[in-house]
């Protein structure tokens, strides 16, 4: 089983996700597969948030913790980035440079 070191950098998370996918037999899944799975996880996050906020929920639904769902989403983000050859840290920094030039206002 792959090991993730203490306090990893983002690139190490991406590498770890690739290793996990190989080990668990998910490496052949396509980018589209991963995007669909990501969408499912976002829905599960919304359900977990609804529950935590005390909103009406279907009592027959199963719920997990918000942190679990965020971790699942992060794993899928890493998997999608890996399939497209995207360094998430580099992409994040580049996007923030663009955002710094935008004008933000409340509506």
Q: Where are the domains of the chain?
A: 10-100
Q: What is the pLDDT of residues 49-88, one digit of tens each?
A: 999 999 988 888 887 899 999 999 999 999 999 999 999 9
First to last CA, the chain: 49
Q: If you classify domain 10-100 with CATH, what class do you get? A: mainly alpha
Q: What is the pLDDT of residues 36-46, one digit of tens each?
A: 999 999 999 99
Residue 89, burial from CB neighbour count under 10 angstroms (0-12, 13-18, 19+): middle
């Amino acid at each position: 089983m792959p090991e993730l070191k203490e306090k990893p950098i983002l690139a190490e998370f991406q590498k770890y996700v690739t290793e996990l996918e190989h080990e668990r037999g998910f490496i052949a899944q396509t980018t589209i597969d991963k995007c669909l799975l990501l969408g499912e996880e976002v829905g599960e996050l919304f359900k977990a948030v609804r529950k935590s906020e005390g909103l009406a929920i279907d009592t027959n639904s199963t719920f997990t913790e918000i942190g679990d769902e965020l971790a699942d989403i992060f794993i899928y983000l890493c998997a999608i980035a890996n399939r497209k050859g995207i360094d998430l840290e580099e992409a994040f920094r580049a996007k923030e440079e663009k955002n710094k030039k935008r004008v933000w206002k409340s509506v």
